[in-house]
Amino acid sequence: MGFNKRYINKESLMEYKKQGLQNLINFIKKPDSLIIEDDFSEKVCNVVLKTDEKYLFVELAKIGFY
């Protein structure tokens, strides 16, 4: 079993956004470690990791992601 890390940046988040909210959630929550490359990505990841899924769309809209 390996240690999974993922590099997160605005471009990668925008690509997963196109695939739907559930794919975006999995992209952020599945790896063991996130390497966040910019402030915008940090905001998005914090919202996804800390917000209940039924309020997620609203919270992401507040920071300008949706």
Q: What is the pLDDT of residues 1-32, one digit of tens each?
A: 789 999 999 999 999 999 999 999 999 999 99
Give the model's pLDDT for residue 42.
Answer: 98
Taking the CA atoms of 62, 63, 64 and 66 in sequence, report the sign of the dihedral they define: negative
Give the model's pLDDT for residue 35.
Answer: 98
Query: If you average pLDDT over every residue of the chain, what do you get?
Result: 96
Percent of the chain residues topping a pLDDT of 70: 98
The tokens 């996130």 sit on which residue? 34
Helices and strands, counts by H and E, the chain: 4, 2
